[in-house]
Amino acid sequence: MSTTIPINRYRFFQKIQPLSILVKIVNDSTTGCLQVFSPSGTWSIYLQEGHLVYASRSENIWEPIYRNLQRLSWQNSNLMRINEQLENFVEQCVQNQTISHADYLAICWLVDEQYISLVEAGILIEQLVLEL
């Protein structure tokens, strides 16, 4: 079941209760992306059936991915060879501003191209979420 809470339910300067929104999301087993806008940046929280799948912050989405890939490269020699390809992918995402959540797409690309396994993608996502 996918639930969308319309933006018109909340005014931009209205004080909201984040914990009550998160409780509703978990209790309703919501699937989707919750976006939170603040002066310090945009947060995107991806959920599947009420469980956290991925989260990112918009200020500098690429630096944490590169840093964590560097850590994983000690275990996976494929990662040492992908810098140029990943930079090209990142550049395409930046140029095509209609692509939202390019950081998540980059991780999917790494899995699709078999540079990292699903387990390594899970580790990468977990490390990125911990940095938020």
DSSP-derived 3-state class of residue 92: helix
Q: Is the dihedral of CA 77, 80, 84, 88 positive or negative?
A: positive
pLDDT at 106 over 70: yes
In a domain, 104, yes or no: yes
Are residues 81 and 37 part of one domain? no
Q: Give me the domain span that covers residue 13.
A: 7-56
Are residues 85 and 34 part of one domain? no
Instruction: Please check whether residue 92 is in contact with residue 105, taking contact to mean a CB–CB distance below 8 angstroms.
Output: no
C-alpha neighbours within 13 Å on the C-beta side of residue 36:
16
State which H helix or E strand residue 77 sits in.
Answer: none
Are residues 14 and 68 part of one domain? no
pLDDT tens digit string along 68-83? 787 887 777 777 777 7
Our count of domains for the chain comes to: 2
Query: Who has greater pLDDT, 100 or 108?
Result: 108
Are residues 72 and 50 part of one domain? no
In a domain, 1, yes or no: no
Measured from the Cβ of residue 28, the count of other Cβ atoms closer than 10 Å reads: 13
Are residues 120 and 65 part of one domain? yes
